[in-house]
Structures are given as C-alpha cells and as structure tokens.
Amino acid sequence: MREIVFDTETTGLDPAGGDRIVEIGCVEMFNRSETGRHFHAYFNPDRPMPPGAEAVHGLSDVFLSDKPRFLERAEELLDFLEDSPLVAHNASFDFGFLNHELGQCGRTVICTSRMVDTLAIARTRHPGAKHSLDALCTRFGVDRSRRIKHGALLDAQLLAQVYIELTGGRQIGLGLVEDTEDMDIAVVAGTVTIREPRPARPHFAADEELERHRAFISQLANPLWERLSAAS
C-alpha cells in the first residue's frame, strides 16, 4: 500500500487568521518502506514571518522572498500525493493548513478520511508517555541528531521511521509463503528465505561403541537403576 508521510512549517498556528504554509515535505512509502521518492518545497507566504515562528524553523523573510507561491506548485504537490493516505504527526494541524491553502487557490480539499495521525496512534500505544516527535525518536532509537531546528522534509523522514515502529516495526511487511509448513524459514535483514528441509540423517551406535558402553556400565558400583529396580 502506498502512503505519504508529510510535515509542514508555517508562519503560525491559525490558517483562518492569515497564517500560511512556508514549507512542506512529503516522503513516499510503499508497504511501510521508504521508496526514496519525496516532494519538498518552500513557499513565499506574502506576509511577514513572526519572530516566534522563525525561531522554530529558521525560515526568514529574506530566505522566502524569492520562493514560489503555494499556487505555483499546488498541481505538482497534488500529483505527488495522488489518492494515498496521508500520515502526519498531529495531523489535524497539517491537514488544516494544507486544505486552507488548497481552498485559497481553488483546489478541491483533501478528505480527512485519508488522514493518519501518528500522535493519536502514539497516545493509544503508549498512554502517559511523551508523544512529541523528539520523544518518539528517542523511544524507538531513531537518529535525530540533524534536527537542530524544525524542517518539513527532515521531520517527515524522521516521522516515517517512527511510523514504521508505531505500526509494528520493520517486520510488519514480512509475509509467509503459502504451504510452508514443512519448510525452513529464515529472516535475514528483512528478507524471507525459504529453504527445503534436509532429510533426517540416520545415526546408529557401532558394535564397538555398544561394547565399550556395556564395559563402562559394568564397572559402576551399586548404580541407581539397580537400586530402584530392587525397591520395586
């Protein structure tokens, strides 16, 4: 199954109040594995960047001044998303901004039935724990050393690894071949290898081995099995 893990960076928290998307990063996954394909774009929001938002993601007015508007890359973004489920952390936030931008440029909004929220999954799987992306990376051993500031593409890549762990780990995509009841199944680095069973190797003690065993037994003084036999 194809899924898209995505993240956005914005000018603030409220699209209805005029806040805009300034960066989006999307990572393609197929059967819970990253394919290497991604979509990444910065956008000129046509409004000043609040200092608080810039402190989070580091995207300044100067940096964004020559970037395209969302409208200019909306078609390319939608072509990448196709009709796949969309995975995000606190997905209602990212969906709210994405659909606001699509509505602003006359595009059909994305149905929330396609939304997969890793924050909701994490709260269900690990109640009472910390559920930030940083905390989940630490829990699952995902290297986040490059995450100095928030960045949409990097965060989507980190979230893709977290999502794999939240939904069963690296072995979730492994399937067993039919009719393998009598086969030897080995899993090596995520690959299922089927080997035909070897026939049983007959083994019998040689006559001289049996004779040495009898000689050894005869030297035992008052062995346990003789005492038990006498007691019965």
Domains and CATH numbers, the chain: 2-173 (3.30.420.10)
Query: Nearest-CA neighbor of 133 among 162, 165, 106, 102?
Result: 162
Total-model pTM: 0.72
User: What pLDDT, on a 0 to 100 scale, did the predictor assign at position 197?
Assistant: 62
HEC-encoded secondary structure of 101-117 = HHHHCCCCCCCHHHEEE
Structure tokens at 13: 């928290």
140 in Cβ contact with 121 (< 8 Å) = no
57 assigned binding-site residue: yes
Nearest-10 Cα torsion for 113, 116, 122, 124: 20
User: What pLDDT, on a 0 to 100 scale, did the predictor assign at position 170?
Assistant: 66
Q: Please give the positions annotated as active site.
A: 150
Kindly report the length of the chain. 232
User: What pLDDT, on a 0 to 100 scale, did the predictor assign at position 192?
Assistant: 46
The whole-angstrom separation of Cα 13 and Cα 43 is 16
pLDDT values of the chain reduced to their tens digit, one per residue, 232 residues: 999 999 999 999 999 999 999 999 999 999 999 999 999 999 999 999 999 999 999 999 999 999 999 999 999 999 999 999 999 999 999 999 999 999 999 999 999 999 999 999 999 999 999 999 999 999 999 998 888 889 999 999 999 999 999 998 765 444 444 444 444 444 344 444 455 666 666 667 788 888 888 888 888 887 777 777 776 6
User: What pLDDT, on a 0 to 100 scale, did the predictor assign at position 232?
Assistant: 61
The whole-angstrom separation of Cα 10 and Cα 2 is 26
9 assigned binding-site residue: yes
Strands 33-42 vs 86-88: parallel, antiparallel or unpaired: unpaired
Which residue is listed with tokens 């050894």? Answer: 216
Write the single-letter amino acid at 7: D
Q: Is 179 left (phi over 0), alpha (psi -120 to 50) or beta?
A: left
Structure tokens at 141: 């051993």
Phi and psi torsions of 174, nearest 5°: -75, 135
User: What pLDDT, on a 0 to 100 scale, did the predictor assign at position 172?
Assistant: 47
25 in Cβ contact with 38 (< 8 Å) = yes
The whole-angstrom separation of Cα 25 and Cα 27 is 7
